[in-house]
Amino acid sequence: MSDPTEANGTAGSAEAAAPAEAGGGPGRHVRVVLVDDHRMFRTGVQAEIGQTEQTGVEVVGEAADVDQAVTVITATRPEVVLLDVHLPGGGGVEVLRRCAPLMGDTEQPVRFLALSVSDAAEDVIGVIRGGARGYVTKTITGTDLVNSVFRVQEGDAVFSPRLAGFVLDAFASTDAPPVDEDLDRLTQREREVLRLIARGYAYKEIAKQLYISVKTVESHVSAVLRKLQLSNRHELTRWATARRLV
């Protein structure tokens, strides 16, 4: 794994999309830290939005887990952190908790924009309650991501369209969400795999979307079936559908 603070000069893969050209406007600049446990994804984001002359975005650091994230964010004091929800060491919520003093700095606040493959309501609500200024999924285009970063820098709240409803519903309700003991047995990664399986994705498609190997997907599926005492993916799909996780 590379030095978590290493950012500039990271080359994108041959399949990476061309760098986004639409930035925050002439002369605008934002310093960003990328936090994601998949190096390939960080490299892709760096290639897509990190061409500072075109986008105005300067990637000043990277991190792959909670401890690295807190260290890099504290050292670099970026304006915006692109934060994955599921990270080794406690997840994005733990990063937000440990960086609360930086978010509360009135002179130089560090703002967080969640960038995740997950579009689950509990993930969205969790990081927003933790202090993130927005939540977008990894299907976002490079141009839209650049624009979202600048909006968060300016203090706006930014959400992928269907996710905004989760936040509105959550904060409009005074009732705490019910605890699902079965779901709580699963790790965050197992929940991601569960949802994709229930949506009909093949193992290879899940591996590509989550930047993990097919063998790892198979291991997660086996763990989910064992923990939930289910026999196959059809039962798993029915289980997930009944809980409105699909």
Specify the pLDDT at position 107.
86
In the chain, what percentage of residues exceed pLDDT 70? 83
Q: Amino acid identity, residue 244? A: R
CB 66, CB 88: distance < 8 Å? yes
Among the listed residues 134, 130, 171, the one whose alpha carbon sits nearest the alpha carbon of residue 154: 134
Task: Indicate the residue type of 38.
Answer: H
Q: In what order do the strands lie in the sheet with 134-137?
A: 57-63, 30-35, 80-83, 111-116, 134-137, 158-159
**Tens of pLDDT, residues 49-75:** 988 889 999 999 999 999 999 999 999
46 pLDDT tier (thresholds 50, 70, 90): very high
Confidence of residue 90 (pLDDT cuts 50, 70, 90): confident
Residue of higher predicted confidence among 134 and 120: 134
Q: Tens digits of per-residue pLDDT, 182-230? A: 777 888 788 888 988 888 889 998 888 888 899 999 999 999 999 899 9
Highest mean pLDDT among 3-17, 21-35, 106-120: 106-120
- The pLDDT > 90 percentage for the chain reads 45
Distance CA 61, CA 2 (A): 11
Which bin fits 131, alpha (ψ -120 to 50), beta or left (φ > 0)? left
CA 160 – CA 167 distance, rounded (Å): 11
pTM of the model: 0.64
Dist. CA 241–CA 199, nearest whole Å: 9
What is the spatial distance between Cα 167 and Cα 133, in angstroms, rounded to a whole number? 11
Nearby residues of 219 by Cβ (< 8 Å), 6 or more positions away: none
- pLDDT tens digits, one per residue of 33-44: 999 999 999 999
- Per residue in 139-184, pLDDT (tens digit) is 899 999 999 999 999 999 898 877 876 666 655 554 544 556 777 7
Residue 209 has a pLDDT of: 81
